Amino acid sequence: MISAAGFLVLPVLLGAAVADLGLDEAQVGLMGSGIMAGSAVASLIATVLVHRASWTALCVAALVVQVAGQVSAAQLEYGALLWGCILLASLGAGAVYSFALTVLSAANDSARLFGYSVTSQVAFQVLGMLGMPWFAVPGGFAMCLYVLAGMGVVGIVLAQLLPRHTAAVSAPESASSGRVSAASMLALVGCLFFFANVGSFWSYVERIGDAAGFDAAALGRALAVGVAFGMAGALLAAWQGVRWGYAVPLSVAAMLTLVSLLLMTETATLAIFVVGLALYNFSWNYSLAYQYDVVSSVDGSGRLVAATPAFHGVGAAIGPALVASLVLDVGLVLVNVTAAICVAASLVMLLPAARR
């Protein structure tokens, strides 16, 4: 939750950046891309380190990097140096997230635990959407970064509770051989496409609401209500487990996501916008728990699930960067179209592993 906090409250964070730094639509996409780009690189590094050092030591080191990047970014105006500090914070956060996923994948009944993990993130997301504006209005973008850095300090303390040994993952012979199946790689690419959808939509949802004429207070409440439905999706995944397999839940989530994007393509009223947000967040978090477990189920070594955030991070960085390159010419409808294409591609990639 702490490592993902910057991404979870991304609309509020970018809204504060727009107000303080005067970002245009293209720069919003680039900032959103920077917040996730470092996570991809860090997650790849984490796959190498996760079985070679203490989980506590790894998490503390990564959280120190995250906090240092956020505190440094709070001192700067928009430019290459600010973007670099955001990238540094993202590096630390991505590493922590990968280590956390490895701990969960090593436990029994990981499908339910991934569901509860996503639930905790969504619970924070609701509080963040309602509470972060209290810091953003008087203190702006810098104050938001200080809040995230403070959470990182709390994480350093909590990391002492993690198991101190290197890894409790028991890899089967097929996994320890170093071979990665085609289904595993397709599943990881599916995760990438899914987060290209999330990254593009989540970076621009505040701009979509603003373009529809909703004021900041109404938009904040709409986001909080919509995000709250994400908790229901994650809890449903935790309760449901794998009793219906993986293919059915992932397919249902994809269909609901497409419906939600259609609702928010031409937003006429705040009520329709809220319904679209609710469906989007429900399906996002319902799907996410199963994505982690699909990857975990086709790889017993624990390394691929640690790499999953790398593919999520690459997708989340590519999505808003792609939109940013065209949005000034095409308009915000490009966000929904890009997200819809990525959701469909994600499902196609995930289904081979889900059926296994």
pLDDT (average), residues 8-26: 79
Structure tokens at 5: 């906090």
Tens of pLDDT, residue by residue over 121-172, are: 888 888 887 777 777 777 788 888 999 999 999 999 998 888 765 444 444 4
Q: Is the pLDDT of residue 175 over 60?
A: no
> What residue spans of the chain are helical by DSSP H?
5-8, 10-21, 25-49, 55-73, 80-105, 110-158, 173-176, 182-211, 216-240, 247-263, 270-297, 303-330, 333-355
Spatial distance between the Cα atoms of 97 and 74, rounded to a whole number of angstroms = 22
Of 158, 145, 124, the closest CA to residue 68 belongs to 145
Tokens of 11: 């609309």
Question: Residues 24, 324: contact at Cβ < 8 Å?
Answer: no
> Which pair of tokens denotes residue 25?
């639509």
Question: pLDDT digits over 235-257, tens only?
Answer: 887 787 777 777 888 899 999 99
Note the CATH number of domain 5-162+179-355. Answer: 1.20.1250.20
- pLDDT reading at 30 higher than 60: yes
Q: In the prediction, which pLDDT does 179 show? A: 55
**pLDDT(114) > 70:** yes
**pTM (two decimals):** 0.70
Q: What is the mean pLDDT of the chain?
A: 80
What is the spatial distance between Cα 146 and Cα 152, in angstroms, rounded to a whole number?
10
Helix, strand, coil share of the chain (percent; to 5)? 80, 0, 20
Supply the pLDDT for residue 168.
Answer: 44
* Structural domain boundaries in the chain: 5-162+179-355
Per-residue model confidence as pLDDT tens digits over 53-75 = 788 888 899 999 999 999 998 88
